Structure 1
Amino acid sequence: MSKFNEIFLDLEAAILNQRFISGDLLPSENELVKTYNVSRETIRKALNLLLEKGYIQKIQGKGSIVLDIKRFDFPVSGLTSYKELQDAQNMNSQTIVVSNGLLPVSEELANHLKLSVGTPVLYLERLRKVHGEVVIIDKDYLVTSIVPSIPNEAAEDSLYHYIEQTLGLSIGYAQKEITVDPITEEDKRLMDLQEDTHVVVVRSDVYLEDTTLFQHTESRHRLDRFRFVDFARRRNSL
């Protein structure tokens, strides 16, 4: 085994065993060079492995900060794709496409999408594995007159990238609802839930820039792996 892999495994164990906890700074590169008696390049390779696995984030002028490896940040107000979140937070993640085809809409879904009951929509269901566990089920219902089909390769990578870059559409905004719901039989079957009895569900109606509603999403998250964050500024009441 290469020396940088040995150092990576040693630092990984220190994080997993909570010798370093979320928010801690790892020792500087100079300190690690002295500790392990290796070159700076070897230390940088080990740190890059930690970065790729989602254990740390490098901050200019500060060093390598340890991330909360159990929870990832999901912005409440932003309209960000899972792929963009995955890349931004170095999530060790895999997407599995379960369903990709036409589905007649139910009455409830027809109300969301402003369609007649039974109208075919493009239904996309994907599982998100993080560190080897399925912790999210994403369900997307797309109006076929706007998005007629999605190749599986694009669904595994980024739905929004395909819509914007390949179809040339401009995604504008979304209306979101966040609830904590009891788990379903499908949740039990598809997710690694452990002893959980509830999941966090984010439902969104998504619009193009021209205000055309084209998508309804339902994203079901395991409780212990995500936190939903936002930035709020108080407005002067005067």
Structure 2
Amino acid sequence: MRMTKKDYVYEEIKKLILNGEFKEGELLISENEICKKYNVSREPVRRALKKLKEKGYVNSKQGKGYYINPKDFYLNTTIASLSVESKKIHSVIVLEFKTILNDKKEYFNSKYLYVYKRIVKTDNNVTYEEGYLPYDFFEGFSIKDCEGSILNYFRDQKNLTLTHDRKELKSVLIDNDHIVNRYMPEKITHSIETTHHLYSNNLLIQISKQIKYNSNVTIVSTN
């Protein structure tokens, strides 16, 4: 099948980004320059740029153009790692749900944040999760939404395209009194804490921290 002009431009610019010819944070050449470079009209160029933005390769600033994103915006485009949001959810226990003043201003512009804590039980796991969502963007988010799949809420109710999940993992010690141990099949002392920064087209929409019962952990001494 013959490649469309939009896909041709998309693939060529993507190749330049992956090859490092455009650096992180650098301004992409203008639409006019792209038109001349690839001998195409403005419409396929605009559609190619839209696709590049959706896939996380670039972000746009009104009146300035398109900038190249960090690699982890486009090299990790799966949200499959959020396994607690799979269709295998058996039950959700919301431990806390409230609105607070935004204490994460380095991440969100909203004046307030929704904050929740919950236990999610799936086929083979129990997960403790804490989450933060910007109030201004999700006004009307409720405890009922928190009792179901939050990813489905993003997709089905807010019509958001979930583009990537930036993850940080660390080994943590769990003491006996931690709330997670009230709900685990057996008490745990070690786990992996996974911090997720979930994006929709380069916009951070959720931060969540998860501790799972069924985590394979190797403790390496630094002594």
TM range (shorter): 0.5 to 0.7
Measured after TM superposition, the shift of residue 161 of structure 1 is 1.1
Measured after TM superposition, the shift of residue 152 of structure 1 is 3.0
Deviations 1:67-121 (A, max 9, x none): xxxxxxxxx973135465343xxx6x21111222212344xx443x2458xx420
Report SS of the residue matched to 2:184: coil
* Other-structure match for 2:112: 120
- 1:97 equivalent to 2:94? Answer yes
The 5 Å alignment of 1:136-151 reads 136-151=127-142
- 1:78 equivalent to 2:99? Answer no
* Other-structure match for 1:21: none
| Letter matched to residue 86 of structure 2 | L
| Letter matched to residue 200 of structure 1 | I
Q: Classify 1:170/1:130 alpha carbon distance in 2 versus 1 (closer, same or farther; 3 Å).
A: closer
The 5 Å alignment of 1:18-29 reads none
Query: 1: distance between equivalents of 2:83 and 2:144?
Result: 15
Q: Classify 1:183/1:84 alpha carbon distance in 2 versus 1 (closer, same or farther; 3 Å).
A: closer
Query: 2: distance between equivalents of 1:179 and 1:83?
Result: 18
Check the 8 A contact 2:92/2:121 in 1, yes or no.
yes
* Other-structure match for 1:170: 161
RMSD: 3.1
Report SS of the residue matched to 1:157: coil
* Other-structure match for 2:121: 129
TM-score by length of 1: 0.49
Deviations 1:109-167 (A, max 9, x none): 443x2458xx4201122112357x98211111001121123233332221111122112
Q: Classify 1:123/1:164 alpha carbon distance in 2 versus 1 (closer, same or farther; 3 Å).
A: same
- 1:202 equivalent to 2:194? Answer yes
| Letter matched to residue 101 of structure 1 | K
Query: 2: distance between equivalents of 1:181 and 1:134?
Result: 18
Query: 2: distance between equivalents of 1:201 and 1:166?
Result: 28
Superposition misfits of 4+ residues, deviation over 4 angstroms: 81-84
Report SS of the residue matched to 1:200: strand
Q: Classify 1:227/1:181 alpha carbon distance in 2 versus 1 (closer, same or farther; 3 Å).
A: closer
| Letter matched to residue 188 of structure 2 | D
| Alignment coverage as a number of residue pairs | 140
Q: Identity of counterpart residues, as a percentage?
A: 15
Report SS of the residue matched to 1:171: coil
Q: Classify 1:166/1:77 alpha carbon distance in 2 versus 1 (closer, same or farther; 3 Å).
A: closer
| Letter matched to residue 79 of structure 1 | I
